[in-house]
Structure 1
């Protein structure tokens, strides 16, 4: 049985064991992250706060209604002289007063300040949605970066396990050759050293794999309890078109959309400040009830009750406030100008980043294809060297070199494979399409 057959049996055996573990797909990972990632939860709560702030209850369009009630008790001594008759002395006279009222205040006109503030709150709500979307996109990139790191480390672990099996078989073979006097003890020692090095490499990468799985579980809100594997199958979106994506970038990039919302908010700030130059007209109304009772013998009326409605209109006009409103108006105009400049700069920055990311993506796809071809060459070289090693036509050192060339080719292929996928995701994120594709 050849080394390849041993290796195949080994991988099949461990593959059966691995299949017993949970396989976490990208779709499942995305779902868990959207539901349990703490950053996304906080972002969603922030959106909910902004939504509450943008509602009619926070608009200033509704009237305010207040209720007041009170009761007082007076105890006094009184002395009075009537026109006819002796003086009257009243001690400990109680006087009781009760009152209750409902008051209404409503702003009829405030220079349209409420309208612009209400629209501003709507823009802030939409801005918070964009900020939440940015958080989700950033979290998704982080998720896939770690997920594909786990996938890469998993494939690297398989490659190192296969290398260790080959090294052990080589030690057995050179041991037999040494016993029959076909080589020296140095070949045996070299094989033992290589096994130790391969074992150390395998131990290190297994630890790195465990740590990276914990990192992935953290992004998922610690929802994966049992040990798990990830899907190492990748599908590239080769149908992506640069011009289409660039146009989508200009329309849907989350940073550009946020910049546009900030411009709108600044424009409403200017209108709100201008509204403060105009008068405010308000409506007031109340319904009141009052009752007074006393046992004072000197009083002409010992009990009285009044109730009724009252209404009025008031006008308030801030004719001069020392110039603070005028200063705010000037500053908001400058802020608006800065927001427009920032957007213009951001457009150039986003286009540059997109072009760089697109070129990086294309280059990494080419590198991946080259590494795939390199695997075929390295494997062919290893298999030929293996056959010659069995019949003694190449040395143990030459066989080891071919083995390492194959291992390095596999590790480089794995690196190129996942680098290309992450580059693709970066392009999708810049174009605003990251959350619209299936993985």
Structure 2
């Protein structure tokens, strides 16, 4: 099987994957969905915290039958002349029902801890949502990297295949010149060896292609054995757009990076924990009401609703006058946790600024490298044309043509690598700025 047949066989029935598809699927892969589920769980925590502020209504009902068998009891009674004696009393068996029905309602009037806990759960929910967006951005960037890794392998194989075709043409020229008596047999053999080495390079690159395909499919939650093909995003034929200013990138990151939003909400939740702790210094008020109906006669219980009724209601107050300094200790602990959250947020802001600057410098450097690589490719292409003309004229050897071929191939691979690195660096900067998915980041 020659190189062309192997390439066609590997590409047969390949599922095309566009860059937009890879980005969208990455935001819905296992890691991203797990983060979304955690945010949904935090949303239920808000509902649980809110439930304490709503009326608590409870219904209870029971019905049972009590059976007492024949009994003998003794009563002590006085007798004439003084003294006492035991008098036996026999009672027959008896059975009687016991019916009960009740409804109770309680309503919290004031408890500072409950209100603070509700606000805290809301802050934790927003923090969890921010972390979910952060994970989605992380998953999307990884999907972009894996997409471009596959596209790089595909494009590199095309470059190597083009080099194989150039080697085939060089072998034909060397063979024709040898048959014409203008060059020796060594030139033809050298060209044949070069062609074999170039074909080996193409075959060797196919294993890397399969690795990149598997890494992309598994990340996108697709069958790992499925053969995919990265659709050309068109970046190789486009001039790289300039990088945004560093000031603009930093400003965007401060306002739109989901991680910073989540950390600010975590800090707010820590501050509210102190409010929850200090609520122990304040009283708690609640309103209670209950209705109960109980009796042993079913006819009265079910037939006379005006009887056997008990209704009660009242306002209760609860105040921890002294609890062994527990409230004070909890408040102090909450202050320490708030300070720790504040320090963590400040450090994350500094790290974010460093990441943005690093990504910004990397993007600018990659753009310059891509421009230099394009100039090198043009020079290498001109050098190959000159070497082929000299070989056809019989004034150079296959070695000179081979050297020009290798330099052109290396220049094309370098240009490919740098041009793809420009796009990866651009998406990395967008990830650091929090603008990878503008609609969702808002």
TM-score calculated relative to the size of structure 2 = 0.85
Shift of the 262–113 alpha-carbon distance from structure 1 to 2, 3 Å rule, reads same
Partner of 1:398: 400
Task: Provide the secondary structure at the position in 1 that maps to 2:270.
Answer: helix
Q: In the alignment, is residue 109 of structure 1 matched against residue 144 of structure 2?
A: no
Partner of 1:320: 322
Partner of 1:258: 262
Partner of 2:83: none
Distance apart, 1:333 and its partner CA: 0.5
Alpha-carbon distance between aligned partners in 1 of 2:41 and 2:390, rounded to the nearest angstrom: 72
Q: In the alignment, is residue 68 of structure 1 matched against residue 60 of structure 2?
A: yes
Distance apart, 1:293 and its partner CA: 4.5
Alpha-carbon distance between aligned partners in 2 of 1:322 and 1:200, rounded to the nearest angstrom: 80
Question: How many residue pairs end up in the alignment?
Answer: 412
Q: In the alignment, is residue 271 of structure 1 matched against residue 272 of structure 2?
A: no
Partner of 2:134: 134
Instruction: After superposing the two structures, state which structure 1 stretch, 162-171 or 285-294, moved more.
Output: 285-294
Alignment of 1:346-365 (within 5 A): 346-365=348-367
Alpha-carbon distance between aligned partners in 1 of 2:130 and 2:388, rounded to the nearest angstrom: 58
Partner of 1:165: 165
What is the CA deviation profile of residues 230-274 of structure 1, one whole-angstrom value per residue up to 9, with x for unaligned ones? 224126443623322221122222232222111111111011111
Distance apart, 1:409 and its partner CA: 0.2
Contact 1:59 1:117 in 2 (8 A): no
Alpha-carbon distance between aligned partners in 1 of 2:105 and 2:435, rounded to the nearest angstrom: 51
Task: Provide the secondary structure at the position in 2 that maps to 1:322.
Answer: coil
Task: Provide the secondary structure at the position in 2 that maps to 1:231.
Answer: coil
What is the CA deviation profile of residues 98-124 of structure 1, one whole-angstrom value per residue up to 9, with x for unaligned ones? 2222222322222x1111111111111
Q: In the alignment, is residue 330 of structure 1 matched against residue 322 of structure 2?
A: no
Partner of 2:40: 48
Shift of the 262–81 alpha-carbon distance from structure 1 to 2, 3 Å rule, reads closer
Partner of 2:81: none
Distance apart, 1:380 and its partner CA: 0.7
Contact 1:78 1:93 in 2 (8 A): no
Task: Provide the secondary structure at the position in 1 that maps to 2:234.
Answer: coil
Alpha-carbon distance between aligned partners in 2 of 1:139 and 1:87, rounded to the nearest angstrom: 88
Distance apart, 1:198 and its partner CA: 1.5
Partner of 1:367: 369
Task: Provide the secondary structure at the position in 2 that maps to 1:276.
Answer: helix
Partner of 1:4: none
Instruction: After superposing the two structures, state which structure 1 stretch, 175-184 or 140-149, moved more.
Output: 175-184
Task: Provide the secondary structure at the position in 2 that maps to 1:117.
Answer: helix
Contact 2:175 2:188 in 1 (8 A): yes
Shift of the 239–177 alpha-carbon distance from structure 1 to 2, 3 Å rule, reads closer
Partner of 1:30: 23
Alpha-carbon distance between aligned partners in 2 of 1:97 and 1:361, rounded to the nearest angstrom: 83
Distance apart, 1:391 and its partner CA: 2.5
Partner of 2:232: 231
Contact 2:285 2:315 in 1 (8 A): yes
Shift of the 72–191 alpha-carbon distance from structure 1 to 2, 3 Å rule, reads farther
Instruction: After superposing the two structures, state which structure 1 stretch, 264-273 or 283-292, moved more.
Output: 283-292
Partner of 1:300: none
Alpha-carbon distance between aligned partners in 2 of 1:212 and 1:189, rounded to the nearest angstrom: 36
Partner of 1:195: 195
Q: Say which of 295, 317, 326 aligns to 1:291.
A: 295
What is the CA deviation profile of residues 16-66 of structure 1, one whole-angstrom value per residue up to 9, with x for unaligned ones? x989965432222223333x4111221222221112222377441112222
Shift of the 257–57 alpha-carbon distance from structure 1 to 2, 3 Å rule, reads closer
Contact 1:99 1:290 in 2 (8 A): yes
